[in-house]
Amino acid sequence: MTAAALFGAAPERHGAVNVTAQQIGARVGVAALVAASTAASDTPAGYHVAYLVTAALACAAAAAGIAVSLLRAS
């Protein structure tokens, strides 16, 4: 993803592009977790939903990463 994001950028701007992408990703992630946590009417249950969503997304990202590395290795 980093290589795709930096493809058209000048080398001296790579740091700024990485920092900006990291900040945007963090904000989108927090917004998604807040949306998931407010979906439940009870606050502790909402936090549990948010943590479960986070765990599911992390597992999916790990599985995708493993699949991509296996495809590249073959």
Q: Domain of residue 21: give its range.
A: 11-73
Could you report the per-residue pLDDT of 20-61, keeping only the tens digit for each? 888 998 898 888 888 878 877 677 888 888 888 889 989 999
Number of domains the chain is built from: 1
The answer to the question of residue 58 being in a domain is yes
pLDDT at 18: 78
The answer to the question of residue 48 being in a domain is yes
Q: What are the structure tokens assigned to 34, written together? A: 């807040």
The answer to the question of residue 4 being in a domain is no
Positive or negative torsion for Cα 47, 48, 49, 54: positive
The answer to the question of residue 5 being in a domain is no
The answer to the question of residue 45 being in a domain is yes
Could you report the per-residue pLDDT of 52-61, keeping only the tens digit for each? 888 998 999 9
The answer to the question of residue 26 being in a domain is yes
The answer to the question of residue 46 being in a domain is yes
The answer to the question of residue 54 being in a domain is yes
